[in-house]
Amino acid sequence: MHKSILLAFALLFSTSVIAQKADYYFEQGNKSLNEQNNRDAIEYYLQAIDLDNTNWTYYYNCGMAYYYLSDYKKSLNCFDIAYNLAPNNMEILSNRGNMKDAVGDYQGALDDFEKVLDKQGASWELYNSIGIVYDNLKDYENALKYFTLSIKEKTDQSAAYDNRAMVHRKMGNTEACCQDLKLAIKYTEYGQRAQIHFNQYCN
């Protein structure tokens, strides 16, 4: 009995040390990610995963680091594992939808977004993401529909106005395109994408 107690304590202590080391690597990965040192962040996250492959946050953050490097296939793989570990987490599912869109799995992206919509409800970001998928599918009517829904959810955001403007342009409606670009410029918080589009298509 005494040996069993000692053995159980030793195993518990060993597990605790491994968990602490994994958390250390995770924290270092987060620090690197915040500093935009994405390759370093990935190395730290992978070390954390080597020690503990049951923590969804390790995979999720690693997926974000891959995303920032535009390595969408590895990012998607990380989100797949994270979602399998935490299937009720809609943030993982939403980001996985974005990665599926990035690698051309448009139906898979729509399936993920529909699940998020059913469980979490509407948001301007979600409708905007769905609109982007339909735009990629060249289904411009549905793209307009979802960009418009995105704008109704949040009227002072730039992204959906800019995206809807580009769909109007593809459909030959220059006037509507330029009207949306003016609003996109009005509400933009950063970057010059809408202004570049306006200069290109409306001047």
Q: What is the pLDDT of residue 9?
A: 45
DSSP 55: -
Q: Which residues, 6 or more positions from 158, have their beta carbon under 8 angstroms from its beta carbon?
A: 183, 184, 185, 186, 187, 188, 189, 194
Q: Whose CA is closest to 110, among 89, 141, 131?
A: 131
The Cα–Cα gap between 166 and 116 comes to: 26
* Cα 173 to Cα 23, 137, 164, distances in angstroms: 53, 19, 11
Give the pLDDT confidence of 100-124 residue by residue, as tens digits: 999 999 999 999 999 999 999 999 9
Q: Which domains does the chain have, with CATH numbers?
A: 1-92 (1.25.40.10), 122-203 (1.25.40.10)
Q: What is the pLDDT of residue 15?
A: 55
The Cα–Cα gap between 150 and 122 comes to: 9
pTM: 0.85
Q: What is the pLDDT of residue 4?
A: 53
Decide if 179 contacts 186 (C-beta within 8 A). no
Q: Which residues, 6 or more positions from 111, have their beta carbon under 8 angstroms from its beta carbon?
A: 97
Q: What is the share, in percent, of the chain residues with pLDDT greater than 70?
A: 92
